[in-house]
Structure formats: C-alpha cells, structure tokens
Amino acid sequence: MTESLTIALSKGRILDDTLPLLAAAGIEPLDDPRKSRKLIFDTNQPNIKLVIIRAADVPTFVEFGAADLGVAGKDVLMEHDGDLFELLDLGIARCRLMVAEPADIAANDDPANWSRLRIATKYVKIARRFFAAKGIQTEIIKLYGSMELAPLVGLADRIVDLVDTGNTLRANNLVEIEHIADISSWLVGNTASMKLKHELMQSTIAAVATALEATNE
Ligand code: PRT
Ligand code: MG
C-alpha cells in the first residue's frame, strides 16, 4: 500500500510562514491556498496533500488522524491539551501569552496581592491552569475575539491574550502585567501515523527540519 500524508495548516500568518518552509522541504501545493477557497490541496508530491482549516481546529484534526501532520501555535496546543506529538518548533508566528490590564489599574497593582480576578480570554483552560497554580480564584469569561475590549466596558478586570508588537494593547490603554508563555508555531504529528506511516512521516519531518536549519543559518 502506498502511504499518503495529509498536512493541516491554517490561513493567515501560519500559512504565510509555513508555505515557504514546506517549499524548501520540497512540498508545494499545486494551487495557491492564500488565493483559493478550496479546503484540500494536492501538492507536487503525489502522496502529500494539504488541508486548510481554522487555527484552533488543527490540533483536533491531527489528534484524531484526519491529518497526519499539522502546524499550530503553542497557544492553541496548550489550550487543546490533547494527545499528539510536538515534533519541531518552527519558530514562526512568534508572540507571547500575557495577562494584561488597564494602565490606570496597573499603576497601583501588584500581582502578588491578587486573590480573586475576573478574566476575559479565549484561552479558558490555560488561564484556569495558570491562576490555579498561583492559588488565585478566577471567574473566566470565554470570548472568541477582541478580548481587549472587555476591561474597557467592565466585562472583566483582566485579559489573557497574545501580544506581539504591543500595539493592540497600547491602542486600548492596556499594559502587560504577567507573562504566561512564549509562543511560536510547532509541527505536530498524529501518534498512530508516527508508527503506521513511519517512513513517510520521518522523511517528511526530516525534510522540514533540514529546511528549517537552512533558514536559521
Ligand atoms: O483568525 P482565526 O479566528 O481563524 O484564528 P486565529 O486568530 O487563531 O488565527 P491567526 O492566524 O490570527 O493566528 C494563528 C496563530 O498565530 C496564533 O494561534 C498564534 O500562535 C500566532 N500569533 C502570533 C498571533 C499573534 N502573533 C498575534 N499578535 N495570533 C494573534 N495575534 C493577535 C492577538 O490576539 C492580538 O489581538 O494580534 C493582536 C496583538 O498583536 P500586537 O502586534 O498588536 O501586539
Ligand atoms: Mg485571527
């Protein structure tokens, strides 16, 4: 039986940064996923295809074997918290996961004194774990976007969100107050595929690793 692989990617910054890396590893989609509305793409490798899905869905596709490999942000992987292999840190889409709060509160705030907080975030599990480990009680309010708005309208005291340049926080009078994790995107793999499709998985992972080393030189 000829082995075949499906690689799950998401539109936006992950796709923009992963396509050049895959090309350097010898894997190129036949149509441009940045322009097409298709969800499945054949590549120049007859046994490798790409699927383009929502960023937060990549770990689910990989864990359940709908994709053998995928690229997902560490934030999404920490929140998913599932059974898959984290194979390679691709060093792309870097940012940091932070607790932020209004600048006027931060002026007189010491995280060492936190005991009860109301947090708005899309990272419910990560936030719960982070504050529980510090013994801080939290009410977590799940949002799907624009977390920065929550403290401005009294929905929450603090937010947990990704920060890159800090422009979004600054524009909304928020400041970073606690660091949760440094984030980058990882190549992840389905655990069964690592055994059942050993050869093709290993050669593909090795090709990506070599391409990654070349870009880091
Ligand atoms: O867009 P969609 O809802 O489908 O999914 P998504 O928003 O999760 O996807 P996408 O492409 O926006 O992000 C994919 C991954 O990129 C994330 O899971 C992160 O691992 C990574 N990444 C890197 C970022 C950022 N940098 C980032 N800055 N994801 C989001 N942001 C947002 C952040 O949430 C905040 O709203 O950008 C804003 C902050 O940016 P600065 O530069 O103003 O600080
Ligand atoms: Mg987005």
- List per-residue pLDDT tens for the chain, 217 residues long: 578 999 999 999 999 999 999 999 999 999 999 999 999 999 999 999 999 999 999 999 999 999 999 999 999 999 999 999 999 999 999 999 999 999 999 999 999 999 999 999 999 999 999 999 999 999 999 999 999 999 999 999 999 999 999 999 999 999 999 999 999 999 999 999 999 999 999 999 999 999 999 988 8
Q: What is the pLDDT of residue 1?
A: 59
**pTM, rounded to two decimals:** 0.96
Q: What is the pLDDT of residue 2?
A: 78
Q: What is the pLDDT of residue 216?
A: 83
- Does 95-181 match 5-93+184-216 at the fold level? yes
**Domain spans of the chain?**
5-93+184-216, 95-181
- 2's CB contacts (< 8 A; 6+ apart) are 47
Q: Which fold would CATH assign to domain 5-93+184-216?
A: D-Maltodextrin-Binding Protein; domain 2 (3.40.190)
Strand-pair category, 85-102 with 174-189: antiparallel
Q: What is the pLDDT of residue 217?
A: 80
Q: Please give the distance, rounded to the nearest whole angstrom, from the Cα atom of residue 44 to the centre of ligand 2.
A: 29
CATH architecture entry for 95-181: 3-Layer(aba) Sandwich (3.40)
Q: How far apart are CA 18 and CA 202, in angstroms?
A: 18
Q: Which two tokens stand for residue 176?
A: 């970073």
| Residue 52 near residue 33, CB atoms below 8 Å | yes
| Residue 14 near residue 55, CB atoms below 8 Å | yes
Nearest atom (ligand 1) to Cα of 15: 11
Residue with CA nearest ligand 1 atom 18:
73
Nearest atom (ligand 1) to Cα of 185: 20
| Residue 102 near residue 120, CB atoms below 8 Å | no
Rounded to an integer, what is the distance from CA 80 to the centroid of its chain? 10
